[in-house]
Every structure is written in C-alpha cells, then in structure tokens.
Structure 1
C-alpha cells in the first residue's frame, strides 16, 4: 500500500490513507460488472458443505505464513488502513501486494477430510471462493506480481499449485488470468496466476475430486517482486466465502484393460450413461488423453516407470465422474529383431 495518489490510464492507487472503500471504487474493484453466475454445483443440484468460512465472528481457520503480509480485515495492519471489503457480512482475508520480493501466504490451520468416493453415490469435490484483486504493475507493464492458490495433502509439509485442468474440470469459472513475468526476483516468476485487476469481486472454483479420502489444506499466496522503496505496490488480494463442497456427479468409468507400449499405454473402460467424452490421466507426470470413445492411448510417457491411470467421465453441465480404481502399467521399449 502506498503513500501517494498516482493516476494512470485506468488505475488510481491509494495514498494518504484514504478509506479503502473509496480507493477500491477509484480502481473499479468495487464496480458492478456483469458476470455469469457461478453455480455451487454445475447441475444446479444442492451441494453438501464440508467446509465453509465467511471470515465472520471469532472462528480463525487461517494463519499467516512467511512474511507478515496477510491479515483478517477486521484486525489492525501495519498500514493502518481498514481493508474490509467483503461479499458477505463485513469481514474478509486480505493479502498485501507490497514492495519486497516474496510469496507470503494465508493457510488453513487444519485440513478438511474428503470422504472416499463411492460407486453407489458418485460425487465430485470442489473448492469455491469469492475474491477481488489488484496486483502490480498497473499501467501496461509486465505482470510481475500475482496471486496463486495451492493445496497440501500431508498437513502442509508439501504444497502443490492449482493447475489449469483443475479450474477446467470445475466448469472453467474464473481460473488464473495470466502468467507472472519470468526472469524477476519473484519466487514464483513464470507461473500462472491471477494478475492485473479484477474490477470487482468474482467467484472461482476448482476440482479436487482426485484427492478423495485425504485431508486437504488450502493456501493463498501473493507472489511479488522487489520494488523501489517509494513504490507502494498495489492493493493485493481480498478473499471471502471459501468453501469445500461435494456435488452429485456422473458415475466413474470402470477401467477394463491397459496395454503398455513404447512410451505409451492404451487404456480401455466401460461406457458411462450421460457422458459426452472422457479424459485419461497418468500418475505421475499428468499426461492426458481426451476422447469421445471408450479407449485412448496416453503418450509421451517414460519407459520403465510404473504408471497408474484414472479416467474421468465428462458432460457439459454435469460434475465429472472419476474412476475408483487406478490401473497399473509400465511402458516398455519395443524389442527390434537383429
């Protein structure tokens, strides 16, 4: 946050400790923008909430990690500015986009256990949150700073970033908007992220169905470059109404056969009623193959590596169905006769 009022073609940045509501209106973060409603479930079915936090009251599900740049909006921050800008109630999380290189975060204190998948009652698991952001720079420069979402399934010992595929599987609602510039001192330089200015609150959701049976923690980070001492950075990230829900889903395809080849594996499965296409994913490496048929060959694999494969049933307006079993196969180079 800054100490002067600077005007550019499309952004006015906070200075002189203006009230945050006025400052947000000046950069159009609070402007009403027509956006498609983001359903809790793609099929408009009623979700089951496993975790929900509106950031109100005394419950503190989140803790700042790294450099102290994340706060509950109702708490005093070093910048002495009221950063309450919520979509429900009055309170929210806020991560500052300052002038020191780093990627401070706000992480869940405790994980949320996702029940194991069941063939009798197939569901998908989704993370959904409301957020608004303003990341540096502001006037046509490279997108140096940004916001990223990560998850952990081992209590926070290791973290993984949310991929484009996860946003897409949950309907493609407001996933990452760009890439942070490479070659900077931003520790996450070159990564996909929310960048620029959101022009108001939006709702994002991503799929975590493949993490069923595990305990999941979430983390939000503002990744930023170092700036001149007089550069105040930007508004940062406002987050509200975070939830983890389950929704009724298509049944998971039953894998019937796998056939290893040279740097490839052919996978077959039984058809799922209502599915318009299928996606096969290799574990590890995350190679994918998408088809409307019930067989597909996953390529560009490594010979000699043990792979498992998971098949998803896809249909517009429906939650994806995930195969319960993950079949094992080892690609092997073909033997050419002498």
Structure 2
C-alpha cells in the first residue's frame, strides 16, 4: 500500500497472506488517498502484479478529508504577545484587568502561551479574542486550540470526577459581547468537559460544566462552529476558582479557526521514455 500510484512511498506491506481479505495491522493515515495492489506467490513461482486500486481514508475530528483542503481564518500563537486580546475578571468581588498573562513556563509550541493561574481565592478570569468573521458559504468551520490544565477537582474512590472545584470553559458571543453563549456539548468534537463546578466554595462559575484536568497534559480541543456561520463572533476563555486549594492553572496556545474548501486530487501520469 502506498500514498502514490507509482508506489514510491510505501506505507504498508503484508507478505505471506493466505486469505482473500486482510485488515491492516497498523493505523492508516487519515484524510488521504491510498493505493494498493497484490502479487500472488506459490510453489510454482511469483505471479504478475495486480492492477492498482485506490480508496480514501476517513477524516478524524477537525480534518477536512481527502477531497478538501483547510483554509485558516484566524490564527494566534502568542509569540508576538496578545495585544489584540483582552483579559479581565473579578476576584473576591473586585474588578481586575490583565487576569491572564503571557508565560513561557509551559507552551505547546514556541516560547509563549497564555495562562490563567489557579489561585486560592474566588475569581472569574476572562480572555477575550478579537472578532472573527465566519463565512456563511463554507463548510467544516472549526475552532482548534491546545491547552494544558492543572485545575483543582475531586475524584471518587474509583477515580471518576465527582466535581470540579475550579473550572475552565469556553463561550461564544455573536453580538460584540452583549450576550455570551455556552457551546452545546454536541459541538465538542474532542475533549468534552470533565464535570460540573462545585457551588460549595464560592466559585463564581458554580454549577457550570467545565474542564478540570488535574493535571491534563497538552491536548488539542476541536469545536464545531458551523452553527455560527455568517456571524461575526468573539471567543471567551474563562477560568473560575474557589476559596480552596490552588493549582498551576489553565494554559492556552495555538488558537486557530478554519474551514474546508474543495481540493484537487493530484494527477499522476505515467513516465514516458524515448520511443514510447
């Protein structure tokens, strides 16, 4: 099996098969056209190579598939700062600014990410994105971002999450921040929220569903934005903490919004030599 019909890029071999069907013993790359052929061998010798056949593999969450290409609408890696983003919030009832900061302690790529610390005081910390215009006539609109979580939570004896003491969540506004919407669970293509934030220790976000990895290593979260196509939106990354134990916090890096557009399949032509 190969990624090109000339079989110069072999990705899988399976010698010695004795059945008429075969399941590859390793995962195949997603969203690709792949080519395969077989050749018989028995006691009498080796047969001719079969005609080449092809198929395309399925896309995984957030990919455009083998017949489409991603187009980036918005991208932020925080390597040049976060001047177009706004952070604010409330701590113990007092309004705050700059509640998220640039950090080089943990990054997904490069040398900078944004972090909201998991302090041991009741707080609500926002990180507001610039406006992002989502086209009305494109498919595959998705938000991608990488995040690292060190957020306080409680587990049961069998290690299931009982509640988030602190919690991180994401919201979307279609009207310049006049209203903020919870993104429905069905729109989370990866990394669903861990549980509900406890209302027992003055967390301003008590009762909301949220992430509370304790810890969770860097993971890409992918969210379907097709329901908001044709709108100009803002994103808000939100971290709520309670009066209890502190943690390192929530890091966010490599934020991207993209859509899918019809692509072109590469055409391979046979190599002709002199006299052909």
Q: TM-score, normalised by structure 1?
A: 0.52
Structure with greater strand percent = 2
Rg: which structure is higher?
Answer: 2
**Count of residues in correspondence between the two structures:** 192
Question: Residue 130 in 1 paired to residue 146 in 2?
Answer: yes
Specify the alignment match of 1:311 in structure 2.
none
Would the aligned equivalents of 1:100 and 1:224 in 2 still touch at CA under 8 Å? yes
Question: Residue 61 in 1 paired to residue 118 in 2?
Answer: no
How far apart are 1:198 and its partner, in Å? 4.1
Specify the alignment match of 1:105 in structure 2.
126
Q: Deviations over 1:213-243 (max 9, x none)?
A: 111111111111123xxx4x10110110001
Find the partner of 1:217 among 234, 238, 243: 234
Question: Residue 70 in 1 paired to residue 100 in 2?
Answer: yes
Would the aligned equivalents of 1:55 and 1:92 in 2 still touch at CA under 8 Å? yes
Q: Deviations over 1:251-279 (max 9, x none)?
A: xxxxxxxxxxxxxxxxxxxxxxxxxxxxx
Tell me, which stretches of 5 or more residues in structure 1 are unaligned? 1-35, 74-82, 250-338
Specify the alignment match of 2:117 in structure 1.
96
How far apart are 1:204 and its partner, in Å? 0.5
Specify the alignment match of 1:115 in structure 2.
135
How far apart are 1:184 and its partner, in Å? 3.8
Would the aligned equivalents of 1:138 and 1:196 in 2 still touch at CA under 8 Å? no
The 1:178–1:248 alpha-carbon spacing in structure 2 relative to 1, beyond 3 Å, is farther
Question: Residue 243 in 1 paired to residue 256 in 2?
Answer: yes
Counterpart CA distance in 2 for 1:116 and 1:215 is 10
Q: Deviations over 1:67-87 (max 9, x none)?
A: 3431121xxxxxxxxx53111
Q: Deviations over 1:170-220 (max 9, x none)?
A: xx3112122212444212212111113243100001111111111111111
What aligned pairs does 1:229-308 form with structure 2 within 5 A after superposition? Answer: 231=245, 233-248=246-261
**SS of equivalent to 1:165:** helix
**SS of equivalent to 1:47:** strand
Question: Residue 196 in 1 paired to residue 213 in 2?
Answer: yes
Question: Residue 143 in 1 paired to residue 173 in 2?
Answer: no
Counterpart CA distance in 1 for 2:166 and 2:77 is 26
Would the aligned equivalents of 1:102 and 1:224 in 2 still touch at CA under 8 Å? yes
**SS of equivalent to 2:213:** coil
Q: Which has the higher contact order (CA 8 A, sep 6+)?
A: 2
The 1:146–1:157 alpha-carbon spacing in structure 2 relative to 1, beyond 3 Å, is same
RMSD of Structure 2 on Structure 1 (CA): 2.4
Tell me, which stretches of 5 or more residues in structure 2 are unaligned? 1-28, 31-59, 90-95, 157-161, 263-276
How far apart are 1:113 and its partner, in Å? 0.8
What aligned pairs does 1:154-193 form with structure 2 within 5 A after superposition? Answer: 154-167=175-188, 172-193=189-210
How far apart are 1:49 and its partner, in Å? 0.5
Counterpart CA distance in 1 for 2:85 and 2:179 is 17
Counterpart CA distance in 2 for 1:210 and 1:142 is 29
The 1:59–1:220 alpha-carbon spacing in structure 2 relative to 1, beyond 3 Å, is closer
Counterpart CA distance in 2 for 1:87 and 1:39 is 19
The 1:42–1:116 alpha-carbon spacing in structure 2 relative to 1, beyond 3 Å, is closer
Would the aligned equivalents of 1:144 and 1:180 in 2 still touch at CA under 8 Å? yes
Specify the alignment match of 1:31 in structure 2.
none
